Structure 1
Amino acid sequence: MPLTAFSVSRQQELDVDQLLQLFADQHQRPKLKRSEPIPEIWKQVIHADVECPACFAKGAELVRATSSKVTGEAIKQAYFRFPGGHHVFCDFAALSPGEAPEGLVQFSSTARDGLSRAVRDLVCKGIHLGLLDQARIRSMREWFHNKKASAGFQVTLDPKVFQWVAAVQAAAWPVRYQPQWLTISNELLGVPGFQMKTAMEVMLCRRHESLLTFLSERTVMLRPMVSRIEKLLNANSSRVVFDPTILKVEYGATFELSRFISNHYHPIQKALGRSYVDVKACKPLMAFTALLLFLSDWDLNKAASLFAQIASYRGDADQNLGNVMGLNPFHDYDSWAALKVLQEIPVQEYEAYDLDHRPKEWMIEAEAALAMGQSF
């Protein structure tokens, strides 16, 4: 359930306390005490006006914060509930109350890491200059939500197939460093220092050449993503999920602009603190860059110009302007895209093989094949 929601009438994203304070100010009365019920007329207005920040569902209800009667410490944060339900692809649909989707980015004033603070400063400057605002940020989220709603696929991948394919690709990977002319035969095993492991790797590479080509042509390298794909697979088996490949062009543009900013904008450079960093993992930067591109019709040069206007501003900007929720629409893009590719692998690539086999068994296979006079 979201901690913030969007008020259409006010064109603002607000948390529960902020919204109740606005109602109190509007009706010229003191702020509601925690034990004081929310007036019925306020509830009716909220129900009609406030939207989920991710899927724009209406019918919001407020769930107020609770505190320990003994210590007075907060037990549960206030949040918005949508009894009518969220869209099936909504980031909040399967989450516990108050839990935030991994793809949403809060540009909050309490941001602790340097990257979040640097991006928040850019957001505040952009809003101060009139180049960004909450309504436009909401429009971007709506655009991406509609994209998500238009494309989906069912998760049907067998976990055993996934693990086996990942193991084959990982085991065969070192062969790219071997000479292409090399043919493994039993005679080579007598060479001092020649390892059976090399024979096994070449055997796999030759035997599964079409499978490995299928993956490489689609730029899928599974090893860095195995744990994440496994988690997505276990959590979404048989479910219809968003097909991220519909955003391939936008993803590429966002990555390029994020990389440009990380290389040329000193506050971001300083925050990252390394000569090389995977900007795809920098959620605040990807969220901010996606917004710039959305506002620039996905034109990289226009977005770079918009960034320059914001980054070159030398005046002060109210840091409270950054209390908005950003969206990194490409969170887990590579993992989801790889999962989709895995489901498209022709069944003949794996149906004849024992999916429980791993390097130990493949070494035995290679040794037996060579002993029988085979070569590969």
Structure 2
Amino acid sequence: MAGAERMTATIANALAELGHDVTILSLWDTASQFRLHPRIRHEALFAQRPSFRRAYLATVAGIRRHCATHRIDVLVQVDTMLALFVLPATVGLGLHHIAWEHCHFDEDLGKPARKVARRLAARFCRQVVVLTERDRLRWLEALRPRSEVACIPNPLPFPMPAESAPRTQKTVLAMGRLVAAKGFDVLLHAWQRVAAQEPGWQLVIHGEGEERPALTALVGKLQLEDRVSLPGVCHDPAQAYGRASVFCLSSRYEGFGLVLIEAMAFGLPVVSTDCETGPRELLAPGQDALVVATDDADALAKALLTVIRQPEMASRLAAGGRQKASEFTLERLALQWHALVEAPPASAAR
């Protein structure tokens, strides 16, 4: 249910709709958590997650076998780490190879090998796709890649809502994996201050992950049991956004921050942390969001209280957000992907 998997399904569906024959090859897990276009073939190399250190050669051989069997022309690796498997698997096959980066350049997610994989992708892939212009410039500055580095933002995974959310319920919504990067611990400390001053308001945090026990314990420690709910993965985003009046992103870092675009599409005023990539590029402070420093619970609480107590400002931010979200429609960005996979080699173009 993570963002990269969701975007894989979203872009695969869009390319299939445009007439491409699309296969999704998972390393493991044949079941998709997201709806797939009827024309998409979904296969997995392993029935369950293996040890890739022990199964490295089998993984490389399986990728190569799949590409040869299905006569793959274009291969999009949906994580730059996959270069460690895909590059040796496709030697000599003449594939159009695209690496898709979902994290920002200066974060390796605790895997030092990611830095090596990025260097390999920058040298041997035809294109590297990143999510923000800031990240594109970091790739160019740090690696001087032989690959073309293209910025294609994540699209809205659903059509632009015809109307804004009614914003009649006193609910602040947050959404994301329950991991330390999302800063939900900071949000809970901020919410303790908000709850003390605005007793009618509730905080809903949708998502699942390894931090659930710690966050549940923190809710109890802060005595917020009747003011905070953690209902798990959101299977109906339209309903979740439709029941909220404010959206809050408390992340310590983001690769992009698609939930910001989703919330703005539904006309929710946004309070966000000022992450280096993603929010800093997507948001215009004071125009479509209130933006505060990361890891600052006091500033986050103050911004939330401002939006709650100033409905005219909230409406102005919401209107600006709706306008911003309209730039991220799937139809528009799918055409950029279509052009990318159809692009001839640079030598042929010349």
Compute the TM-score of the two structures, normalised by the length of structure 1. 0.23
Structure with bigger strand share is 2
Q: Which has the larger radius of gyration?
A: 1
Structure with bigger helix share is 1
Q: Which has the higher contact order (CA 8 A, sep 6+)?
A: 1
